[in-house]
Amino acid sequence: MKQSGTRQKKGNAMKLDPTKMKDWQIAEAAEETLRPVRELAAELGLAEDEWQAYGDALAKVDVTKVLKRVGTGRGGKYIDVTAITPTALGEGKTTTTLGLVQGLGRLGKKVIGCVRQPSGGPTFNIKGSAAGGGLAQVVPLTSLSLGLTGDIDAITNANNLAMVALNSRMQHERNHDDAWLAERGLKRLDIDPGRIQFRWAMDFCAQGLRSIEIGRGGKLDGFNCESGFYITVASEVMAILAMSADLADLRRRLSKIVVAYSKSGDPVTAADLEVDGAMCALLVNAIKPTLMQSLEGQPMFVHAGPFANIAIGQNSVVADRLACALGDYVVTESGFASDMGYEKFWNIKCRCSGLKPDAVVLVATVRALKAHGGAPAVKAGLPLDPVYTTENLELLEKGCDNLLAHIDIIRRSGVQPVVCLNAFYTDTPAERDLVRRIAEEAGASFAVSDHWLKGGEGALELAEAVVKACEESNGFSYLCDLNEPLKDRIEKQVKEVYGGDGVDYEPLALEKLEAYQADAETAALPICIAKTQYSLSHDPKLLGRPRGWRMPVKDVLVYRGAGLLVPVAGEIKLMPGTSASPAYRRIDVDVETGKVKGLF
């Protein structure tokens, strides 16, 4: 079925020149000719009561209603986009996702893209929004970057409501006896202030809130204890939204969140605090994906959030299932590189969704490969070293060791990747030919994509390679059986995915792991390792394809609601910090028109 009404046929977006315009200027110009969301909904075959408009360009889609009508059977080809180990600037994975969506649209395919909602943390910090770039973007950019339809705000509020309930309960149990509690229908939970698992949430990078003290003052000022914040998109509530099959599943998962432990060691859950229902009430609308569009008019579902290094980092299960039921081709993305985002897509998300990929795109850039070959470090906000903009085949070839590692990771899942070289104008023909040769010698398909400069037209080679890959059978299988012991599964992931020699546990992590193994339900949870995104290892300084290292695990967290066990490797923080040159310094408003400028 061919896609109709796409913007490239009208020719508007293609008149924009990314070499002379910033991303926000391109997005602003394109917004003048956005397809009405009603047209997108009709193209997808949505009934009037299955979606709710938010202005002319956005809509929330009721997945439960749609799937009840059309069925949950999978129709569309399912494609995941991942990447090699990135530099601090990122390597255009979301841009490539958009380019591929637009390229498949150019081939006449009924394609739907699924991407994550940008977090306010990176939007106002270093990396910027997650809308793509150049002529491969999700629009409208301002709406996408500044809150969209309120999902992340709802998750923040639901998370913090649980913290309000916890601190209030601790205060009242301290100040009153059992008879007073019983009169109010409460049973003493006897929460251990030294074993509080939950934290407050905020969707900014605020390192000053990582560790705080709350409840200072008198008896009426809350319970005095150590606390802290994590960024909202790294919260268990975000992971629950991403992994839930529907509203009922979301409600069930929220009730299982362990917020603390009692002094006798029993878990204290959101259900014990009787706050789980109210948390779900805040998320009724958030479980519905937001319908947007690409610069060339293809439908895009935006849902859940980023940060696959410290969180699940996946677009939601419900968005992907919805897209696969409605489209002929579905392009989704998983955060950061294949050792982080794709591994979690492969071994966690696909288990939840029941979907298996027909093709996997591995994004690489000459810039990142040179960095892995030993070029000077890429630093956000500072000029690139000239080695990145001039031909250097020696560094590039050495850095391709990282590319080969990621090809091996994807092949370990039973899928042969399509390597996409995200084109930069500074790439030379010899550099592109070198990467092509190395990728093809490793057995991968290869395509160069110039979507940033040319939109869907520049992604035709990639789109054709992906269509071909989708027709070839693969033997997709999970890395581990969930019945295998936890230590064995963690060790296997470190050795077979990351390339390490083994795992070293600090005493606290080992104690927790042994306790989790003794509980049958916890022992069967998937593993979601939190580590740096800048290396295959735990150490961001170990570039390329490091060998001869061991993974240090200092803690193991349990997210019973999300259904995840989270080993924490190295010095990883669940609340990022704001840089000295953040993006908010360049974001402003045109007070005459009210339009936002400076987003990227």
CATH number of 43-149+286-471: 3.40.50.300
How far is the C-alpha of 493 from the C-alpha of 348, rounded, in Å? 13
Output the CA–CA distances (angstroms, integers) from residue 234 to 148, 202, 240, 515, in the order listed.
18, 10, 11, 24
Tell me what pLDDT residue 30 has.
87
Q: Cβ contacts of residue 509 below 8 Å, gap of 6+? A: 553, 554, 555, 556, 567, 568
What one-character DSSP code corresponds to residue 266?
Answer: -
Residues of each domain in the chain carrying CATH 3.30.1510.10: 151-280
Q: Are 517 and 535 in contact (CB under 8 A)?
A: no
Q: Cβ contacts of residue 521 below 8 Å, gap of 6+? A: none
Provide the H-helix boundaries in 45-150: 63-70, 93-106, 120-123, 141-145
CATH number of 486-569: 3.10.410.10
Place of tokens 């010698």: 441
CA 501 to chain centre: 28
Q: Which residues are marked as active site? A: 93, 95, 116, 127, 308, 336, 424, 452
How far is the C-alpha of 498 from the C-alpha of 545, rounded, in Å? 9
Backbone angles phi, psi at 187, to 5 degrees: -110, 135
User: Between 393-412 and 429-441, two packed helices, what is the crossing angle to 10 degrees?
Assistant: 30
Tell me what pLDDT residue 11 has.
37
Q: Model's pTM, two decimal places?
A: 0.93
Greatest alpha-carbon pair distance for the chain in Å reads 80
Q: Which two tokens stand for residue 178?
A: 């059992």
Place of tokens 């046929």: 9
How far is the C-alpha of 530 from the C-alpha of 559, rounded, in Å? 13
Q: Which fold, 151-280? A: Domain 2, N(10)-formyltetrahydrofolate synthetase (3.30.1510)
Residues of each domain in the chain carrying CATH 3.10.410.10: 486-569
How far is the C-alpha of 232 from the C-alpha of 538, rounded, in Å? 23
How far is the C-alpha of 569 from the C-alpha of 501, rounded, in Å? 14
DSSP 557-585: EEETTTTEEEEEESS--SS----SS-GGG
Tell me what pLDDT residue 577 has.
87
How far is the C-alpha of 154 from the C-alpha of 284, rounded, in Å? 9
Residues of each domain in the chain carrying CATH 3.40.50.300: 43-149+286-471
- What is the CB-side half-sphere exposure of residue 345 using CA atoms within 13 A? 36
The DSSP bridge pattern shows strands 111-115 and 77-83 to be unpaired
How far is the C-alpha of 302 from the C-alpha of 116, rounded, in Å? 5
Tell me what pLDDT residue 457 has.
96
Provide the H-helix boundaries in 261-391: 276-282, 317-326, 343-344, 350-353, 366-372
**Which amino acid, one-letter code, is at 412?**
R
How far is the C-alpha of 38 from the C-alpha of 53, rounded, in Å? 8
Tens-of-pLDDT digits for all 600 residues of the chain? 455 445 544 334 447 888 888 888 998 898 888 999 999 999 999 999 999 999 999 999 999 999 999 887 667 899 999 999 988 777 889 999 999 999 999 999 999 999 999 888 888 887 777 778 899 999 998 898 899 999 999 999 999 999 999 999 999 999 999 999 999 999 999 999 999 999 999 999 899 999 999 999 999 999 999 999 999 999 999 999 999 999 999 999 999 999 999 999 999 999 999 999 999 999 999 999 999 999 999 999 999 987 767 778 899 999 999 999 999 999 999 988 999 999 999 999 999 999 999 999 999 999 999 999 999 988 776 788 899 999 999 999 999 999 999 999 999 999 999 999 999 989 999 999 999 999 999 999 999 999 999 999 999 999 999 999 999 978 999 999 999 999 999 999 999 999 999 999 999 999 999 999 999 999 999 999 999 999 999 999 999 999 999 999 999 999 999 999 999 997 878 888 888 888 888 889 989 888 888 887
Instruction: Residue count of the chain, please give it.
Output: 600
Q: Which two tokens stand for residue 487?
A: 């230590």
Backbone angles phi, psi at 286, to 5 degrees: -70, -20
Q: Are 294 and 137 in contact (CB under 8 A)?
A: yes
Q: Are 551 and 497 in contact (CB under 8 A)?
A: no
- Using alpha carbons, select from 203, 588, 452 the residue that is nearest to residue 598: 588
**Which amino acid, one-letter code, is at 347?**
N
CA 282 to chain centre: 22
Q: Are 65 and 51 in contact (CB under 8 A)?
A: no
DSSP 156-195: HHHHHHHHHHHHHHHHHHHHS-HHHHHHTT-----EEEEE
How far is the C-alpha of 435 from the C-alpha of 84, rounded, in Å? 13
How far is the C-alpha of 165 from the C-alpha of 118, rounded, in Å? 28
How far is the C-alpha of 76 from the C-alpha of 42, rounded, in Å? 18
